[in-house]
Amino acid sequence: LNTPAGKLAVTLTNEPVEYAGTQVRLVTALRREPLENTLPSSPDLFEAIFESTVVGIAIMDERGIYVRVNHTYAEIYGYAPEEMIGRHVFLIFQPEFHDRVQETHDRYIRGEGTGAKSDWTVIRKDGHKLEISAFNNRLVTETGERFRIVAVIDITEQERIREALEVSEYRL
């Protein structure tokens, strides 16, 4: 993004919302911190990218157990990464959503899901609710192991803005 102060690294989201009976786009720009120093060698490059992104990333096994999460993912939910590893994805969902969550996970593991965005209400460690957008994909290793990879963005603030716009529209 070009600014008067120079170029700024951002991640853009572009979502449809309805306002005043008209379909409009809500565009959000999230500032990305540039990688400091030089890029590490190949084995460490993935780790540097995985840990420096502003998007939360998690890898789950076939059962829905976290095998890897980056700091951003854990931070979104109020956990340290090591608190999430080995636990089921149900950790971040209210019990009434567990069946839907498991069905969605199983579809991705079977290869029936797409990378399309899905929005969810989730629960932080401290009990606060969040609204997130999740983008899912499946990874199959050379040995046939299947994993679900999810990239997550916290959209709680955007949802509050959208709701405020709807209330404002209703009052008009």
CB atoms within 10 A of CB 69: 27
pLDDT of residue 37: 46
Q: Which residue has the tokens 């992104």?
A: 53
pLDDT of residue 69: 97
Length of the chain: 172
Confidence (pTM) = 0.72
pLDDT of residue 117: 84
Name the β-bridge partners of 123: 129
pLDDT of residue 35: 46
The rounded distance, in Å, linking the Cα atoms of 77 and 92 is 7
pLDDT of residue 78: 97
Mean pLDDT by 10 residues, the chain (172 residues): 68 69 71 53 78 93 97 97 98 96 92 82 96 92 92 89 76 64
